[in-house]
Amino acid sequence: MFKRILIANRGEIACRVIKTARRMGIETVAVYSEADRDALHVEMADHAVLIGPPAASESYLVIEKIIAACKQTGAEAVHPGYGFLSEREAFAVALAEAGIVFIGPNPGAIAAMGDKIESKKAAAAANVSTVPGHLGVITDGKHAIKIADEIGYPVMIKASAGGGGKGMRIAYSTSEVEEGFGLATAEAKSSFGDDRIFIEKFIVDPRHIEIQVLGDKHGNVIYLGERECSIQRRNQKVIEEAPSPLLDEATRRKMGDQAVALAKAVHYDSAGTVEFVAGQDKSFYFLEMNTRLQVEHPVTEMVTGVDLVEQMIRVAAGEKLSIAQKDVTLKGWAVESRVYAEDPFRNFLPSIGRLVKYRPPAESSSDGITVRNDTGVQEGGEIAIYYDPMIAKLVTHAPSRAAAIEAQAHALDSFYIDGIRHNIPFLSALMTHPRWREGNLSTGFIAEEFPQGFAAREPEGDIARRIAAVGAAIDRVIGERKRKISGQMIGRAVIRERRRSVWLERAEIPLDVTREGEDFVVRFVGADGALGQPHLLVSPWMPGDPVWQGTIDGYPIAVQVRPIPNGVRLAHQGYEVAVNVFTEREASSARWMLVGNKADTGKKVLCPMPGLVVSIAVTEGQEVKTGETLAVVEAMKMQNVLRAERDGTVKKIHATAGATLAVDAVILEFA
């Protein structure tokens, strides 16, 4: 077994590999760019080596620098994580030539499977079901249009070396093919250094299901069940689960057998994933094979009990697989949510900055429920513009799918982040969505259920009453704390009014709140003024705690708490609302208060996130129509197209291509 390994990656996956290596008694070496000097993976590793400037093309993607770091520290092997150099055949070859072991598949398997075009040819040769498409390289936009017309719309434009949703576009028309080809090519070159593109038929209403395979250097290959990854946005996975609610045992075995046959055909000898696009009728077609550890590998680990990172290391060291296919059993259900630094209320645009507060739910395992948080950040750390916006992967495991989802919803409500925008409100809303809970999934789920994007919602019904009750309990605790401040003048004893008017923004909920020892009893006031049934709230919450953890009538609940003037801002199950608690007299006065209006910036196009201006598509004085491209801004390896929201004439352009802009910087304005 290796004594010391180097992790050629950063963020949560580097931390993930370090944890397993430490448990195995293996020393670790971290590499880092100047932007990651204070990163968590650098702190966790036994040794760390600076490898260059922030840009990945000058640090994490430079093979020579990784090999030099190995030689400098005496690392015997390299784990590539995912992304960066993980699927680069040249990297595995260079390591071998330097006498360093690659903790991953052999170069031949990477060449055959890592290239999306070659992998489809290999799959067809191994009698694996494949999607109709053009497996040759596309030369330019006109060539792309010709091929798309022949295949029939809609089509998927994909980077041959792609992954993680980068370099991928769906096109429903000729014009979308031309634009999508250009954007996919640019993203592919930026993310992978390889701008080759291919086109295939896009299966309507599909599900994304993948099989985890594991092979060794002695010809043994097994599969470890499947993962359902259909909840995607912009072709990037958001929520994953294992097993899939679609598959039965016969379909699972059929997919697994095909995945193993393909892996054996290329002599696969590590952890890898064979991805399929599946129809709602359980038909399936080979999509691609990822010759690396997947982002979503934890859900497979949770339902099988197999540490995939450990298996990769042992296989790379020459050991035989210690488990056979008959030993693989799926126990319970696991759900994973990807927590990203992006603003769901602004069309999921990237958000950068410092993590002023970072308080994930505690990792735990009790009563059949396991909570796991794979992360690469810590409080006080900075989310930079240069890399993928992932903050963490929150995973829950339980005996059933419903229980795993319930645990995930509670864990998300307990996940407190301040300093940047993040997608936790969206993830929380997804966990309570009826269609998700039913398992009625497709890759179009988010586009279909949130056609106008994700917007702030006003809580209603039980959710509103639950938030109001928590708000009243918090107000009561804060009020009692104020009465204990020393140095107050002696006067009449304070008699606290029980009746309160709780405002969720401007919606009023009258209630009655009293103390019973350490607990609270809340009764809602009916339209006739009568008190409703009592609700018991139990929580140890104290002022300053970022999350109100407790129970309402015995039901566990977590609500995020942020102080605002004269109240708190509460977040729960995707709802986020300002809460003010008034006495009845205060409420009668508050009703007369005017509500301010936001400034109108409708004539200005603002930079939606910190980023690099790739191009400006218009000129001053030009007339544009709704939907026309105005500019392209790149951030966190994704190119974002800014389009005109209405017809107009460009009055002034404030930015130029190549400029780096802050969020809300003016790009151009209309007359």
How far is the CA of 14 from the CAs of 199, 412, 638, in angstroms?
A: 33, 23, 22
Distance CA 201, CA 472 (A): 55
Three-state SS annotation for 550-618:
EEECCEEEEEEEEEECCEEEEEECCEEEEEEEECHHHHHHHCCCCCCCCCCCCCEEECCCCEEEEEECC
**Cβ pair 545, 539 in contact under 8 A:** no
Cα dihedral across residues 176, 179, 183, 184: positive or negative:
positive
Residue 529 makes CB contacts below 8 A (sequence gap 6+) with none
The active-site residue, picked from 210, 288, 296, 336, is 288
Three-state SS annotation for 241-253:
EECCCCCCHHHHH
Of 64, 275, 88, 80, the residue nearest 192 (C-alpha): 88
DSSP per-residue letters across 207-232: EEEEEEEEE-TTS-EEEEEEEEEEEE
3-state secondary structure of 339: strand
- Partners of 392 in the β-ladder: 339, 375
256, 261, 266, 269: CA torsion to nearest 10: 50
Return the residue matching tokens 């040249």: 90
Tokens standing for residue 161: 């070396």
| 288 included as an active-site residue | yes
- Partners of 604 in the β-ladder: 669
Burial class (CB in 10 A: 0-12, 13-18, 19+), 330: middle
The catalytic residue positions are 288
